Chain A
Amino acid sequence: MRIAVLTDIHANREAFEAVLADVAAHGVDRIALLGDIVGYGPDPGWCCDQATALVAGGAICVRGNHDNAAAGAAEAMSTLARKALDWTRDRLGDGHVDFLASLPLTAEAEGVLFVHASASHPEDWSYVTSDTKAIPSFRATTARLILCGHVHVPLLASCDLGGMVREQAFRSSLPIPLLPSRRWLAVVGSVGQPRDGVAQAGWALVDTARAELTFRRTPYDVQTTAAKVRAAGLPEDLAVRLLQGK
């Protein structure tokens, strides 16, 4: 099965649309959204509607910390995120809030665990930023592959037969073989707010039959999104961040 994995869309319609078009061009069997559909960006309503439609069509979708906060939960957040969240809440309808509140924290399919942040206590939203930080996730599940987001910077780690967890260097666009002798964890890059210095939407393609994972980048109309952020009166830093990809 070929699964397109999208995470941290953050209400960026242009990026979301561009990735969905790229996904369609690649031909996949299923789509998985790893949360943070809203927050930061100027199109929360549209992105929620799109996610709802995808879930109705069979997509997997788990809840992120911004989704949780938008649905009314109290979440500790940075000032920037807090400002954007207050703006977002005013623009979501009841339907949107219900959808976000209904999302599970984790999902499992084809031996793959889907989660927004660390697989260990997902509700704590711990960042997986290194091999050391990936260890609790490997301990929390027996899944062969853990896919998460939250960090906005892609990362790949493996856990070998001896239980040693190591970060693995990788290159975008090239299929990485997920050796069956190891368990794997991939932090997928952000669709709507990449922070690794590349102002292109990040996502990943998983092929469970071939046991391969490919980190992908899709260019999108970042100028338009940045203009919308400014027009909406959202903090300027959010526009700059999109333009710079960091």
Chain B
Amino acid sequence: MQLRPHEGLQIDGFTLGEKLHTGGFATIWAVTHPDHDLPMVMKVPTILDGYDGPTIVGFEVEQMIMPRLSGPHVPKVIATGGFDVMPYIVTEMIDGGSFLPVFQKAPLPLSDVIEIAARMVAAVADLHRQHVIHLDLKPENFLQRKTGEMVMVDFGLSRHDQLPDLLAEEFTIPMGTYPYIAPEQYLRCRDDPRSDLFALGAMLYALATGRNPWGTPETLRGVRKRLWRDPEPPRAIRPEVPEWLQEIILRALSVDPMRRYQTAAQMAFDLSHPQQVALTARAHKVRRDGWLQVFDRWRVMRKIRRFTAPVSVAAQLASVPIIVVAVDLSPQGERLAEVLLRAVKRMLTIEPDARIACVNVIKTARIGLDQGTDDQGNNLHVVRLVQLKAWAGGIDLPDHRLTYTVLEGPDPGQAIIDYATANGVDHIMMGARGHSTTRRYLGSVSAQVVAEAHCSVTVIRLREGGAAEPAAPPLVEAVPA
């Protein structure tokens, strides 16, 4: 490296302005460039004299991974510079700034904890979909956009499961940040996306309680304890933490990755459906486990060398899909609903770990107020929910993997698509109306979903030509005007 960064330095058309941050391994500078009319920052690694292996490899990893990422949850890369002159990465400046000051105010009001958690988990889900595990999630590495999205930075320890892992053989000690590092990462596993979910769990714990689940260990020995020692339950520190939130946090903090959420999308789903989080003993815990239980775990864990890691990030995401089943509950749709139920059961034989989200849409008028009650004065929403649960009664799944949601909207197809997008759904299953005049005039909801959804869609049809079908069973019935 020939150049050192300083204010006023010009390199590849960029002019360095103020130094914004000095970290352990890099400095961050405001930069301008005549061809790029947006606020930008330049990250320059602080390379010690001579050969500074860890810093260099970490920066190489960032230069390799960051340009391959896209979307609102990562900074957009403008340019990178080589080690021959001065290594750097220029990205857009994230307007909302660091998340650290917010984090330092923890414990936060619970509504804020839940809302921040949802945004953090959404960001991680997006990253995992792009084949990348961050492996160093901590408050300092989250920035916020003014539009609300959380942006992750610092990919120096990250792993892209389709690219060579330059860090694999470089270090002999576990890499990560001690308060948040997952047990399997401590055991030097670098290919499990569930490690990021553990770090999320540790951060949510801190946001909710104001302390880290295992304090702030400064030695590896201190980190190792989390293999057998359970943290103080959040409700013991702050009793107003709802049981469902404790369930989510402690599940994310499970030692064995298999007992955690299996994907960020699953965790996000629970955060947005709190009433349907299945509560286990974890939710009701009010104190740490007794010494005998901890001792038993210590005897097992002190010998453990590794946990089973998934084949790849993509394989892990695909093995636990979220499947939305859109059900038509009208009398005309009854036969179709039966066939759909059989199809869902068949799907569960090939996707045994899937989570099923049953959805029904109440169509509302585009303009004006809708009645929330039917002619007999029953609350439509509740009626539909009861019907939906009755329909799904034949699906043999534990509670935490089966949810029911009644949506409302003037455009049923759009309502289904929006729900699928918001919840990171992998697959939609729904019935299709037969050929009919009604469909010709109303358009097909399933065709719209097939055309516009961002995920796979399976459409179930009744066989034509069998017993006479009721005419035009609408997938989603209209509310009586």
Q: Which residues of A contact B (CB under 8 A)?
A: 156, 158, 160-162, 164, 166, 168-171, 174, 176-177, 179-182
List of 3 A-B pairs having minimum Cβ-Cβ separation, nearest first: A168-B164, A162-B51, A181-B83
Q: Mark B60-77, 1 if CB is under 8 A from A, else 0.
A: 100110001000000000
Given A162-B51, A162-B53, A166-B169, do A182 and B60 touch, yes or no (CB 8 Å)?
A: yes
Say which residue of A168, A171, A174, A180 sits within 8 Å of B166 (CB atoms): A168
| Chain A residues, CB < 8 A from B63 | 179, 181
**A181 contacts B164, CB within 8 Å?**
no
Q: Which residue of B lies closest to A164 (CB)?
A: B53
Given A161-B83, A162-B53, A171-B162, do A177 and B168 touch, yes or no (CB 8 Å)?
A: no
| Chain B residues, CB < 8 A from A160 | 56-57, 60
Say which residue of B56, B87, B164, B168 sits within 8 Å of A170 (CB atoms): B164
**A181 contacts B87, CB within 8 Å?**
yes
| Chain A residues, CB < 8 A from B82 | 180-181
Q: Which residues of B contact A (CB under 8 A)?
A: 51, 53, 56-57, 60, 63-64, 68, 82-84, 87, 162-166, 168-169
**A179 contacts B53, CB within 8 Å?**
no
7 A–B pairs (Cβ distance < 8 Å), ordered by A: A158-B166, A161-B83, A168-B164, A177-B64, A179-B60, A179-B64, A181-B83
| Chain B residues, CB < 8 A from A156 | 164
Complex-state Cα separation, A230 to B63, whole angstroms: 51
Given A161-B83, A162-B51, A181-B83, do A174 and B60 touch, yes or no (CB 8 Å)?
A: no
| Chain A residues, CB < 8 A from B51 | 161-162
**B165 contacts A169, CB within 8 Å?**
yes
Q: Which residue of B lies closest to A170 (CB)?
A: B164
Given A161-B51, A179-B64, do A169 and B56 touch, yes or no (CB 8 Å)?
A: no
**A177 contacts B53, CB within 8 Å?**
no
**A181 contacts B60, CB within 8 Å?**
yes
Complex-state Cα separation, A174 to B160, whole angstroms: 12
**A177 contacts B163, CB within 8 Å?**
yes
Complex-state Cα separation, A166 to B87, whole angstroms: 21
Say which residue of A161, A171, A174 sits within 8 Å of B56 (CB atoms): A161
Query: What DSSP secondary structure best describes chain B's contact surface?
Result: loop
Inter-chain pairs besides A164-B53, A177-B163, A180-B83, 7 sampled, C-beta below 8 Å: A158-B164, A161-B51, A161-B83, A162-B51, A179-B60, A181-B56, A182-B60
Complex-state Cα separation, A181 to B53, whole angstroms: 12
| Chain B residues, CB < 8 A from A161 | 51, 56, 83
| Chain A residues, CB < 8 A from B60 | 160, 179, 181-182
| Chain A residues, CB < 8 A from B165 | 168-169
A156, A168, A177, A182 — most chain B CB neighbours (10 Å):
A177
Complex-state Cα separation, A181 to B86, whole angstroms: 11
**A176 contacts B163, CB within 8 Å?**
yes
A164, A168, A171, A179 — most chain B CB neighbours (10 Å):
A179
Q: Which residue of B lies closest to A168 (CB)?
A: B164
B56 CB, nearest partner CB in chain A, Å: 6
Complex-state Cα separation, A177 to B60, whole angstroms: 11
| Chain A residues, CB < 8 A from B57 | 160
A73 CB, nearest partner CB in chain B, Å: 37
Say which residue of B83, B84, B162 sits within 8 Å of A174 (CB atoms): B162
B68, B84, B87, B162 — most chain A CB neighbours (10 Å):
B162
Q: Which residue of B lies closest to A180 (CB)?
A: B82
**A169 contacts B83, CB within 8 Å?**
no
| Chain B residues, CB < 8 A from A182 | 60
Q: Which residue of A lies closest to B169 (CB)?
A: A166
